[in-house]
């Protein structure tokens, strides 16, 4: 009789430690979109994913993308790992244009909600 080792989820403390470490990571962690993301964040996230898809579809490396966009590898990783807090919508649109990525960008703002700031 062969015993099959059953998978057990790590203890809660270990899981929380790993999640905390991943959140602190500066570059090589793919940042997901928060459930309460703003329309701006959703647009930036979609552009990051479009650029990542372009890289994968064309069998490019991070270095290749950085070279095409005239960026450091470090900066290109922010795009490829969706670090939208470190990127602006304008620059992401510019990068997508440089790569000739076909796209349609829609920003849905719920009725009654505004994203404009009053100064």
The answer to the question of residue 65 being in a domain is yes
- Which residues lie closer than 8 Å to 26 by C-beta, 6 or more apart? none
The answer to the question of residue 17 being in a domain is no
The answer to the question of residue 29 being in a domain is no
Split into its structural domains, the chain has a count of 1
Tens of pLDDT, residues 40-98: 999 999 999 999 999 999 999 999 999 999 999 999 999 999 999 999 999 999 999 99
pLDDT at 26: 59
Q: Is the pTM of this model over 0.75?
A: no
Residue 37's pLDDT band (cuts 50, 70, 90): confident
Owning domain of residue 72: 50-98
Closest CA to 80 of 57, 52, 45: 52
């Amino acid at each position: 009789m062969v015993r099959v080792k059953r998978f057990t989820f790590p203890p809660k403390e270990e899981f929380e430690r790993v999640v905390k470490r991943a959140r602190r990571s500066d570059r090589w962690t793919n940042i997901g979109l928060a459930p309460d993301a703003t329309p701006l964040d959703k647009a930036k996230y979609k552009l990051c994913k479009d650029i990542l898809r372009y890289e994968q579809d064309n069998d490019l490396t991070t270095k290749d993308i950085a070279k095409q966009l005239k960026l450091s590898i470090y900066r290109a990783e922010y795009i490829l790992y969706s670090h939208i807090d470190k990127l602006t919508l304008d620059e992401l649109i510019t990068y997508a244009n440089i790569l000739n990525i076909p796209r349609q960008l829609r920003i849905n703002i719920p009725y009654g909600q505004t994203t404009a700031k009053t100064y």
